Amino acid sequence: MNTPEFSCLPLKPALLENIESLGYSRQTPIQAESLPHILEGRDVIAQAKTGSGKTAAFAIGLLSRLDLSRFKVQALVVCPTRELADQVCKEIRRLARFTQNIKILALSGGTPFAPQRDSLEHGVHVVVGTPGRLQEHLQKHSLRLDHLKVLVLDEADRMLDMGFSDIVTDVISHAPSHRQTLLFSATYADPIREMSQRFQFKPVSVSIDTSHHDNVIEQRFHKIDKAHRLNALGYLLAYHRPESTVVFCNTKRECQDVADTLANCGFSVQALHGDLEQKDRDQILVRFANKSCSVLVATDVAARGLDIHDMQAVINYELPWDAEVYLHRIGRTGRAGKKGLALSLCTEAELNRVKAIEDFQTLSARWDEVAPFKLAYEQRFQPPMVTLWIDGGRKQKVRPGDILGALTGTAGIAGSEVGKIDIFDKQAYVAIKRESADKALTCLRNGKIKGRNFNVHKSHWS
Ligand code: ADP
Ligand code: MG
């Protein structure tokens, strides 16, 4: 099916040009269905699976509505988690990257309040935030929504799952009733319909049937003995050698055990669970996304809102009880048209879970062999990139171009050796191809970035 190009939408030429420069040649199905209504100013309730391009749909909608000469909050996006808020913020910034003087601000918990308040005082057009922190700003009057034109509820189903219903209601009560409300969700159950009834006015409802996406994710099931679960996991990783994999466990404890064992066997692995400090969580996600850590072992709770692109595989170390949770897990691979691999380990006693999954998707499971395998301690599975950590960030006015310039300038490292660059408030991370990492490290240590010397380290796990 050929979806329409963006040029058939009534968009400002600069926005259109930027969308095309990002390589978005055609609209995704959910964009094609929802954008005409969004641009007309209608309330829209949109449902499509993760990775279908919902963010750009509402981002393009809200960017089209802004009056940049007025420094008032005109668009608000409410997201369930901080990671999601950060990602949505990034996508909106990408789509607005050539727009002068536009202020887009993330307001999430886990980061200091005062700097957010200061940024708000300077005037902001678009706010992306999590419910709790938004509520706090509204109560303290650092955030006002009197001039709000567009309200977006992203991943509304997750927000309800996480118990944010009352807080979201309170946040919305500060917004003018004459506004556009866009509600996005991966599922379309009764609570979502109710939410729509409460907050939307004559909404247009658009939904993309998920079944025609199914062939993008290859699902394979592997029958194993309980005692061989870890070895079987080692086999799947060694056989498929994915550059990026999320391994799902059902408990926090198991998550840590599995990560520790894999680490001891030379895998590049990190555990992602709810007990981590935000700073460690940020670092882990940076390293996973920039391909200097290949395996993330996670619980469902910790992986909430995780949205990393190009993930090659998802492995269910143990199947969840609920078929819907299974679908949510595997939906993290095979995004935006790329092929993904979903591998699941299953004991005899867990076969009923596979049955539930088959029923839910109306398909029959494909079973594959796990060859005998023993996790050994001398194996090395090295990721393609190494992360260098720089002791300076946004506060020191370090920008990606400065780091790239320092590497490719006098040091003569080819631009193709440099991967993702992530800038935080007080630190920055740059991914370098493993072969060039030492050279890059020496060069950054001896040279200057923005005319200054910064401390630079190889992040200690690499
Ligand atoms: P969702 O919110 O539906 O889970 P996202 O908005 O995160 O999905 O989009 C998934 C990926 O698809 C992102 O990497 C995004 O940049 C990309 N994407 C969005 N729209 C398009 C498009 N029209 N063409 C190509 N890629 C797109
Ligand atoms: Mg989304």
> How many domains does the structure of the chain reveal?
3
Return mean pLDDT, the chain. 89
Q: Which residues contact 105 (CB under 8 A, 6 or more apart)?
A: 89, 116, 119, 120, 124, 126, 127, 128
Q: Is the minimum distance from the CB of 52 to ligand 1 under 6 angstroms?
A: yes
Lowest-pLDDT choice from 134-138, 183-187, 242-246, 370-374: 370-374
Residue 1 — very low, low, confident or very high, per pLDDT cuts 50/70/90? low
Q: Is the minimum distance from the CB of 96 to ligand 1 under 6 angstroms?
A: no
Residue 124 — very low, low, confident or very high, per pLDDT cuts 50/70/90? very high
The values of phi and psi at residue 343, to 5°, are -115, 135
**374 within some domain:** no
Task: Tell which residue, 164, 72, 182, has the closest CA to residue 125.
Answer: 72
Beta bridge partners of 105: 127
Average pLDDT over residues 137-148: 97
Residue % of the chain over a pLDDT of 70: 95
Same domain, 178 and 297: no
Q: How many CB atoms lie within 10 A of CB 403?
A: 25
Same domain, 261 and 342: yes
Average pLDDT over residues 39-47: 95
Task: Tell which residue, 122, 82, 86, has the closest CA to residue 101.
Answer: 122
Q: Which two tokens stand for residue 348?
A: 């005899």
Residue 347 pLDDT greater than 90, yes or no? yes
Same domain, 281 and 203: no
> Burial code of 388-397, b = ≥16 C-beta within 10 A, e = fewer?
bbbebbeebe
Q: Which atom of ligand 1 approaches the CA of 309 most closely? A: 14
Average pLDDT over residues 297-316: 80
Give the pLDDT of residue 110.
Answer: 85
Pairing of β 456-458 and β 385-390: antiparallel
251 with 395: CB under 8 angstroms? Answer: no
Give the pLDDT of residue 212.
Answer: 43
385 with 290: CB under 8 angstroms? Answer: yes
Residue 334 pLDDT greater than 90, yes or no? no
Residue 38 — very low, low, confident or very high, per pLDDT cuts 50/70/90? very high
Residue 168 pLDDT greater than 60, yes or no? yes
Same domain, 141 and 172: yes
Give the pLDDT of residue 301.
Answer: 78
Adjacency order of strands within the sheet including 204-207? 104-107, 126-129, 75-78, 150-153, 180-185, 44-47, 204-207
Beta bridge partners of 388: 430, 458
Q: Is the minimum distance from the CB of 34 to ligand 1 under 6 angstroms?
A: no
Average pLDDT over residues 88-96: 95
CATH of the domain at 408: 3.30.70.330
Same domain, 249 and 127: no
Task: Say what the pTM is.
Answer: 0.56
DSSP three-state, residue 290: coil
The values of phi and psi at residue 82, to 5°, are -65, -40
DSSP three-state, residue 245: strand
* Structural domain span for residue 416: 385-458
For tokens 């009560």, name the residue.
173
Q: Which two tokens stand for residue 316?
A: 């269910």
- Structure letter (DSSP) for residue 23: T
- Long-range pairs of 167-170 with CB within 8 A, sequence gap ≥ 24: 167/131, 167/132, 167/135, 168/78, 168/131, 169/198, 170/135, 170/138
Residue 85 — very low, low, confident or very high, per pLDDT cuts 50/70/90? very high
**133 within some domain:** yes
Residue 323: enclosing H or E segment and its boundaries? helix 323-330
Residue 338 — very low, low, confident or very high, per pLDDT cuts 50/70/90? low
Residue 339 — very low, low, confident or very high, per pLDDT cuts 50/70/90? confident
333 with 314: CB under 8 angstroms? Answer: yes
- CA atoms of 202 and 386, how far apart (whole Å): 51
**366 within some domain:** no
| Per-residue pLDDT tens digits for 182-222 | 999 887 778 899 999 999 999 999 988 654 444 578 899 99
Q: Which atom of ligand 1 approaches the CA of 154 most closely? A: 2
Of 234-238, 338-342, 428-432, the range with the highest mean pLDDT is 428-432
**376 within some domain:** no
> Which among 168, 187, 207 is the end of a domain?
207
Task: Tell which residue, 51, 81, 49, 292, has the closest CA to residue 186.
Answer: 49
CATH of the domain at 305: 3.40.50.300
Report which bound ligand comes closest to the CA of 30.
Answer: 1
Give the pLDDT of residue 375.
Answer: 82
Residue 308 pLDDT greater than 80, yes or no? no
Residue 434 pLDDT greater than 50, yes or no? yes
Average pLDDT over residues 327-338: 76
Beta bridge partners of 220: 343
Q: Is the minimum distance from the CB of 27 to ligand 1 under 6 angstroms?
A: yes
Same domain, 156 and 35: yes
> Which among 305, 329, 361 is the end of a domain?
361
Task: Tell which residue, 237, 201, 257, has the closest CA to residue 341.
Answer: 237
Give the pLDDT of residue 380.
Answer: 65
Which residue of 28, 31, 327 sits with most ligand 1 atoms within 8 Å of its CB, as the best mutation to test the pocket?
28
- CA atoms of 68 and 141, how far apart (whole Å): 22
217 with 341: CB under 8 angstroms? Answer: yes
**280 within some domain:** yes
Distance 231 CA to ligand 1 centre (A): 35
Task: Tell which residue, 357, 256, 339, 266, has the closest CA to residue 302.
Answer: 256
- Cα angle 323, 326, 330; round to 5: 145
Q: Is the minimum distance from the CB of 149 to ligand 1 under 6 angstroms?
A: no
Q: Which two tokens stand for residue 217?
A: 């994710």
Residue 274 pLDDT greater than 60, yes or no? yes
Average pLDDT over residues 131-143: 97
- CA atoms of 128 and 121, how far apart (whole Å): 16
Q: Is the minimum distance from the CB of 28 to ligand 1 under 6 angstroms?
A: yes
Residue 462 — very low, low, confident or very high, per pLDDT cuts 50/70/90? very low
